Amino acid sequence: MTIRPVRAGSAPPCAEDGAVTSPIKEPAHVATANDTASQHHEWWRDAVIYQVYPRSFADGDGDGVGDLAGVRQHLPYLAELGVDALWFSPWYASPQADAGYDVADYRRIDPMFGDLSEAGALIAEAHELGLRIVVDIVPNHVSDQHAWFREAREAGPGAEARDLFWFRPGRGTDGELPPNEWQSVFGGPAWTRTANPDGTPGEWYLHLFAPEQPDLNWNNPKVREEHESVLRFWFDLGADGVRIDSATMPAKDPELPDFDPASPPVPHPYIDRDDVHSIYRAWREVAAAYSPPRALIGEVWLADPVRFAHYLRPDEMHTAFNFDYLNSPWDPAALRSVIDATFDAHASVGAAPTWVLSNHDVTRHVTRYGRADSSYGHALRQHGTSTDLALGTRRARAALLLALALPGGHYIYQGEELGLWEVEDIPAERRQDPIFHRTGGTDIGRDGCRVPLPWSGQEPPFGFSPAGASAPPWLPQPADWADHTAEAQDGRADSMLGFYRTALAGRRAEQGLHNEEFTWLPSDDPGVLAFERGAGFVCVANLSAAPAALPADTEVVLASGPEVDVTARVLPPDTSVWLRRVRG
């Protein structure tokens, strides 16, 4: 099968005259022979985007929490890694009840991370290095410390300020029962009761996540106006795009009906309702008014590929994370079917696919791929399951070459380039994730993938914080990370870091990877995924436990493991190769 997804024919209007221009300096190394103006314009179609989780990236001021100073120090590292853009998880003023996904003020940087002028400097420095910047926007909710919510809470029932949220009287004789039985994604009821101005028990408010994250009422035009203004604020500051948090959830059934979570109605009372799309259509107009247009990237967790694709229609988002790919086990048939379904869904709307292996919400893939069941599901994190990290690491290398060779955008979660695994032995009293606390530990939560990065040295904090830091890293690092620091891996071609650098440079340089051609190659071996891209570029991944044959008339460009036998044409288990066709 060859796919040639529709390109930008039906894309949104281009920038209007006089629109704000991005100061990005185009990196010389991006240009390739067939890098057309339109491809360049739509950089997100094949960009490699690195996720920075600011709390855990690098601590510049020694308080044990990462910050913008730390990121600025390591920008050259990110440029050298070879990524095209950086996505920052929220860095705004926040009480940090959900690690910044509880935003108190979008127009301020949390003092723990720095300030607005430092964010401006960071964006400018990143642009100088050819790195684009994506910031995180959280439309479903704000912090309970946001000025709007404080005002709404204090104003009391019936106040206009309460219409920005979902305040409702309780059920029962004295309103002592929540308005409905909806449950929070983080565990426990999705409602919290407030006190009236006179101190008596009052109305309840809806929070689909933690109580510190009240849901916004998107039927109120002020909510829409404010978010569009926030987008402009960051686009004006130079952000090249936004990542849209929990993008399927902002629209609610105003009746707030109860439902059986085991068989929810269609449409669902708060997931993927049709009216959510009007939000993103308006955002697309905001993004399209800039020159170059800014990118909208959605966090769209939906099992139905047709519904998923609705978010990527030509007048909505540009691209969205491919969680089906992330969730898939390390299994050739399962991955092939996700890849095919991805192409079909995206081609139907002319959008470019993405390929995602890890992020700040899921078990790191070195760990997942080292387990007997290598699939991922929030409901079953498989914490503490027997894990073969050597196998997981081997597969992670093979997975990188496979994913980087597919047409579309690619996401890297900080630390995967160092081969980090999920840290599973964080003591309960050090765990911070509200999921852990709200489920009483039944769900171990996400701290294990958020442990501060090891940069250098032999022991914690491994250069995460400067010498003489006043506090240890906010989550404990494993003592045995000394050989996983960036410093220990630097200059070693066989290290995970060396491999990432080589693979990313190879992807950039490879002509055949900068168009959207894709053809599966026939193979008699069910353990193998093999495909051809343009310009005679071939990728073969052996996902089985047995050796496979390398295709004839090809030479090896890059292999994920050292044992590929080019003479005997043998590809070992859990290994991928990039090949180039040669004349037979």
Q: Cβ closer to ligand GLC: 447 or 532? A: 447
Binding residue for ligand GLC, selected from 112, 138, 475, 497, defined by CB under 6 A: 138
Q: Shortest approach of ligand GLC to residue 230 CB, angstroms?
A: 15
Q: Which residue is nearest to ligand GLC (CB)?
A: 101
Q: Shortest approach of ligand GLC to residue 341 CB, angstroms?
A: 22
Yes or no: say if 577 and 554 are a contact pair by the CB < 8 Å rule.
Answer: no
Pair type for strands 241-244 and 295-298: parallel
Q: Cβ closer to ligand GLC: 53 or 290? A: 53
Yes or no: say if 555 and 538 are a contact pair by the CB < 8 Å rule.
Answer: no
Distance from C-alpha of 209 to C-alpha of 141, rounded to nearest angstrom: 9
Distance from C-alpha of 203 to C-alpha of 153, rounded to nearest angstrom: 9
Query: Hey, which residues between 298 and 357 contact ligand GLC (CB under 6 A)?
Result: 299
Yes or no: say if 359 and 321 are a contact pair by the CB < 8 Å rule.
Answer: yes
Q: What is the DSSP letter of 60?
A: S
Window 166-195: contact mask with ligand GLC (x via CB under 6 A): ------------------------------
To 5 degrees, how large is the angle CA 266–CA 351–CA 503? Answer: 120
Window 350-369: contact mask with ligand GLC (x via CB under 6 A): ----------xx--------
Q: Shortest approach of ligand GLC to residue 188 CB, angstroms?
A: 15
Q: Shortest approach of ligand GLC to residue 111 CB, angstroms?
A: 21
Q: Shortest approach of ligand GLC to residue 432 CB, angstroms?
A: 12
Yes or no: say if 86 and 76 are a contact pair by the CB < 8 Å rule.
Answer: no
Q: Cβ closer to ligand GLC: 57 or 101? A: 101
Q: Residue 246, interface with ligand GLC (CB under 6 A)? A: yes
Size of the site for ligand GLC (CB under 6 A): 9
**What are φ and ψ of residue 488, in 5° steps?**
-65, -30
Q: Cβ closer to ligand GLC: 354 or 542? A: 354
**Beta partners for 565?**
570
Query: Hey, which residues between 386 and 425 contact ligand GLC (CB under 6 A)?
Result: none
Q: Shortest approach of ligand GLC to residue 209 CB, angstroms?
A: 5
Sequential DSSP letters for 517-564 = --EEPP-S-TTEEEEE-STTEEEEEE-SSS-EEPPSSEEEEEESSTT-
To 5 degrees, how large is the angle CA 505–CA 511–CA 516? Answer: 110
Q: Shortest approach of ligand GLC to residue 138 CB, angstroms?
A: 5
Q: Residue 61, interface with ligand GLC (CB under 6 A)? A: no
Q: Cβ closer to ligand GLC: 136 or 574? A: 136
Q: Cβ closer to ligand GLC: 101 or 500? A: 101
Q: What is the CA radius of gyration of the chain?
A: 24
Active site (catalytic) residues? 245, 299
- At 195 the three-state DSSP class reads strand
Instruction: Give the relative orientation of helices 496-509 and 389-404 as an angle to the nearest 10 degrees.
Output: 10
Binding residue for ligand GLC, selected from 209, 283, 537, 578, defined by CB under 6 A: 209
Sequential DSSP letters for 428-457 = GGG---HHHHHTTTSS--SGGG-PPPP-SS
Burial 320-353 (b: 16+ CB within 10 A, else e): bbbbbbbbbbbebebbbebbebbbebbbbbbbbb
Nearest to 153 by CA among 141, 162, 145, 164: 162
**CA dihedral for 148, 153, 154, 159, sign (positive or negative):** positive
Q: Cβ closer to ligand GLC: 55 or 484? A: 55
Q: Cβ closer to ligand GLC: 98 or 574? A: 98
Binding residue for ligand GLC, selected from 53, 87, 101, 411, defined by CB under 6 A: 101
Q: Cβ closer to ligand GLC: 270 or 290? A: 270
Q: Cβ closer to ligand GLC: 103 or 399? A: 103
Query: Hey, which residues between 3 and 32 contact ligand GLC (CB under 6 A)?
Result: none
Q: Residue 212, interface with ligand GLC (CB under 6 A)? A: no
Query: Hey, which residues between 468 and 507 contact ligand GLC (CB under 6 A)?
Result: none
Binding residue for ligand GLC, selected from 98, 212, 417, 574, defined by CB under 6 A: 98
Yes or no: say if 91 and 118 are a contact pair by the CB < 8 Å rule.
Answer: no
Tokens 């959510």, located at residue? 276
Q: Shortest approach of ligand GLC to residue 89 CB, angstroms?
A: 7
Q: Shortest approach of ligand GLC to residue 299 CB, angstroms?
A: 6
Distance from C-alpha of 176 to C-alpha of 166, rounded to nearest angstrom: 17
Binding residue for ligand GLC, selected from 118, 144, 240, 245, defined by CB under 6 A: 245
In sequence order, the 6+-apart residues with CB closer than 8 A to the CB of 82 are 48, 500, 501, 504, 505, 507, 508
Q: Shortest approach of ligand GLC to residue 363 CB, angstroms?
A: 14
Distance from C-alpha of 251 to C-alpha of 278, rounded to nearest angstrom: 10
Interface residues toward ligand GLC, by CB under 6 A:
98, 101, 138, 209, 245-246, 299, 360-361
